């Protein structure tokens, strides 16, 4: 048993051809909450996000903008970092694929795979649109006025090209991948997403090309600088770069293998098939896990520029508050399935769980403590009926975070909120005269709020801290540990309990 357990989580790195939107925010918030939870568990945490800045599209976008690819990327990348600051994302590193450290790591893994004999020169043949500077597969091409094989964008015939490319021999890894997954059946979560990935492998694997001579904006192959690698060996490798791979030491082994790659369902093939095969070739352990999410739809449609429904998460914060937004995204979507983002849903969830249940509970407790306990926090009853509810809440919350199911984890935590409201109704302390019985009931409520503050802090960090302070606890809620500090009876009485303004003002529908 290691004395310190480590927990390393990544988001995909986001392509800088677009500004941050709700989809990026969704994955990043899930990762943030998950890693905050593990910090509560006492784990040493590494949470990585960043930007993917190479490739043809960036090269082209820069040309259109009359600038260099680097300058173009330099413009966009900070917008992601700034968005994550606004969303209170506690990332530990922000990697950009244009950084020198990343070039070293990409060169290192390429060289290892090349030395292993899994990268070979071959001929790539395909139909190529000169205007797009891209290859198309047959089913992407369209027929126009009887002329077959036309580019769907430029509506003109494509040309047949052959190009010398280096290929990664993915086809050699089918059995090894299946064996590995057979030995690690819970690596991909949720399970049904994992099954889909296994289906991809069983369907047969083809080699894929990893370099282009036409492309300039990327990392040159160490043994053949006329070729530039793209996408796979570039983007995926960031997960190694950030923990020190390629820096000449073996320091990356402190963090590797990564605990979870958080990914969207659209990039399962790359992350769950290509990536572990590349790592195997390079003599590196595959990831311990993948947490595969669905898409966050907007009004039940996929967000896209053309449908004009792109949601900027930062716009919502002004309306609903940072924690309200974070909570909605986490609580209202089953991770792994598509979620549906609607303003009505946001308001409904916010009012029900945050304003009515938690926020109102904090307010009523503060008021009664003010009237019946002199405004000073009292000790809970060690044998309170709420103690068992709290223990169950802690246990279930822990289990669901372990399954990377934030919505269920929060629901489990909220069981304690609901039970505490009911506990007050059952005892009606506002009707009783001040005394030991009222003190105990209010102590129970304060203690429940204390535990809830800890359990909810991964989702609503700033409000959790506010609750913590209002009920008279000192220090930071983030310094608490689960389960030691979520055991019943940890509330420190004797401090002033403050009502304050509503934590979550109720919203009009």
Partner RNA sequence: GGCGGCGUAGCUCAGUUGGUCAGAGCAUCCGGCUCAUAAUCGGAAGGUCAUCGGUUCAAGUCCGAUCGCCGCUACCA
b/e 45-59 (16+ beta carbons within 10 angstroms → b): bbbbbbbbbbbbebb
Could you say which of 150, 219, 235, 404 contacts RNA (CB under 7 A)?
A: 235
Burial class (CB in 10 A: 0-12, 13-18, 19+), 392: middle
Residues for the chain: how many in total?
509
Query: Whose CA is closest to 127, among 145, 113, 140, 143?
Result: 140
**397 exposed, middle or buried (CB, 10 Å; 0-12, 13-18, 19+)?**
buried
Contact 326, 314 (CB under 8 A): no
Per CB under 7 A, 79 contacts RNA = no
Query: ω before 483 within 30° of 0 (cis)?
Result: yes
Rule CB under 7 A: say whether 305 interacts with RNA: no
- Binding span for RNA by CB under 7 A among 100-108, 239-247, 347-355, 381-389: 347-355
Task: Indicate whether 95 belongs to the interface with RNA (CB under 7 A).
Answer: no
Token digits of residue 100:
């020198």
Rg for the chain, CA atoms, rounded: 26
Q: Are 218 and 81 in contact (CB under 8 A)?
A: no
Which region, judged by CB under 7 A, interacts with RNA, from 21-29, 98-106, 281-289, 345-353?
345-353
- What phi and psi values does residue 501 have, to the nearest 5 degrees? -70, 155
Q: Is 8 helix (H, G, I), strand (E, B) or coil?
A: strand
Q: Which of 71, 92, 94, 93 is nearest to 20 (CA)?
A: 94
Beta bridge partners, 335, equal: 337
CB of 293 to RNA, least distance (A): 13
Among 62, 87, 129, 231, binds RNA (CB under 7 A): 231
In the complex, minimum distance from the CB of residue 262 to RNA, in angstroms, rounded to a whole number: 15
Q: Which phi and psi (to 5°) does residue 293 adopt?
A: -105, 160
- Name the minimum Å distance from CB 107 to RNA: 18
* 24 annotated active-site: yes
Binding flag, residue 344, RNA (CB under 7 A): no
506 lies in the binding site for RNA (CB under 7 A): yes
503: contact with RNA by CB under 7 A:
yes
- By CB under 7 A, tell whether 205 contacts RNA: yes
- The answer to whether residue 266 forms part of the interface with RNA (CB under 7 A) is yes
Active site residue 227: no
113 in catalytic set: no
- Please select the residue that binds RNA; options are 1, 2, 66, 139, rule is CB under 7 A: 139
Among 6, 172, 176, 269, binds RNA (CB under 7 A): 269
Residue 154 is a catalytic residue? yes
Nearer to RNA, 334 or 391 (CB): 334
Other C-beta atoms closer than 10 Å to the C-beta of 147 total 11
User: 40 or 451, CB closer to RNA?
Assistant: 451
Record the tokens describing residue 143, joined without a space: 């027929």
Kindly state whether residue 209 participates in binding RNA, applying the rule CB under 7 A.
yes
Residue of 303, 377, 435 whose CA lies nearest to 19: 303
Is residue 132 classed exposed, middle or buried when 0-12, 13-18 and 19+ CB atoms within 10 A define those classes? Answer: middle
Does position 230 interact with RNA (CB under 7 A)? The reply is yes
- Closest distance of CB 36 from RNA, Å: 22
**Region binding RNA by CB under 7 A among candidate stretches 179-187, 200-208, 242-250, 312-320:** 200-208
Q: Using CB under 7 A, which of 111, 360, 462, 478 touches RNA?
A: 360
Point out which residues bind RNA (CB under 7 A). Answer: 15, 17, 52, 54-57, 124, 134-135, 137, 139, 165, 192, 195-196, 199-200, 203-209, 230-231, 235, 265-267, 269-270, 332, 334, 337, 348, 351-352, 355-360, 362-364, 367-368, 371, 418, 421-422, 424-426, 428, 430-431, 502-506
Indicate which residues carry an active-site annotation.
21, 24, 129, 132, 151, 154, 302, 305
């Amino acid at each position: 048993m290691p004395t310190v357990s480590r927990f390393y989580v990544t988001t995909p790195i986001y392509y800088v051809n677009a500004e941050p939107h709700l989809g990026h925010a969704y994955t990043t918030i899930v990762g943030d909450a998950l890693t905050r939870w593990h910090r509560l568990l006492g784990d040493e945490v590494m949470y990585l996000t960043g930007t993917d800045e190479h490739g043809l599209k960036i090269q082209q976008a820069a040309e259109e903008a009359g600038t260099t690819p680097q300058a173009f990327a330099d413009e966009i990348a900070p917008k992601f970092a700034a968005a994550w600051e606004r969303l209170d994302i506690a990332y530990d590193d922000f990697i950009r694929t244009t950084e020198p450290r990343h070039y070293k790591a990409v060169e290192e893994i390429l060289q290892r795979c090349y030395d292993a004999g899994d990268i070979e020169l071959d001929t790539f043949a395909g139909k190529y649109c000169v205007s797009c500077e891209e290859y198309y597969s047959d089913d992407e091409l369209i027929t126009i006025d009887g002329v077959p094989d036309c580019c769907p964008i430029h509506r003109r015939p494509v040309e047949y090209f052959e190009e010398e490319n280096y290929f990664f021999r993915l086809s050699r890894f089918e059995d090894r991948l299946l064996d590995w997954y057979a030995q690690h059946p819970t690596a991909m979560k949720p399970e049904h997403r994992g099954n889909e990935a296994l289906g991809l492998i069983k369907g047969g694997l083809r080699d894929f090309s990893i370099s282009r001579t036409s492309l300039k904006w990327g990392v040159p192959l160490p043994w053949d600088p006329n070729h530039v690698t793209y996408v796979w060996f570039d983007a995926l490798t960031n997960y190694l770069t950030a923990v020190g791979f390629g820096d000449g030491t073996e320091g990356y082994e402190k963090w590797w293998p990564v605990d979870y790659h958080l990914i969207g369902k659209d990039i399962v093939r790359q992350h769950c098939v290509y990536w572990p095969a590349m790592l195997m070739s390079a003599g590196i352990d595959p990831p311990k896990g993948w947490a595969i999410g669905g898409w966050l739809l907007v009004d039940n449609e996929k967000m896209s520029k053309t449908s004009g429904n792109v949601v900027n998460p930062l716009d919502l914060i002004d309306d609903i508050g940072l924690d309200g937004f974070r909570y909605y995204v986490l609580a209202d979507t089953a991770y792994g399935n598509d979620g549906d983002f609607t303003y009505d849903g946001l308001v409904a969830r916010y009012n029900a769980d945050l304003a009515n249940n938690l926020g109102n509970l904090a307010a009523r407790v503060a008021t009664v403590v003010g009237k019946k306990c002199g405004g000073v926090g009292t000790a809970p009853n060690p044998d309170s009926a709420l103690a068992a509810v709290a223990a169950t809440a802690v246990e279930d919350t822990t289990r669901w975070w372990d399954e990377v199911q934030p919505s269920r984890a929060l629901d489990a935590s909220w069981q304690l909120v609901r039970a505490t409201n009911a506990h007050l109704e059952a005892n009606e302390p506002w009707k009783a005269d001040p005394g030991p019985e009222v003190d105990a009931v209010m102590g129970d409520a304060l203690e429940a709020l204390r535990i809830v503050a800890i359990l909810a802090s991964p989702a609503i960090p700033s409000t959790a801290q506010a609750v913590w302070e209002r009920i008279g606890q000192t220090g930071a809620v983030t310094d608490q540990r689960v389960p030691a500090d979520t055991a019943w009876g940890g509330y420190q009485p004797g401090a002033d309990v403050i009502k304050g303004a509503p934590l979550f003002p109720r919203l009009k529908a």
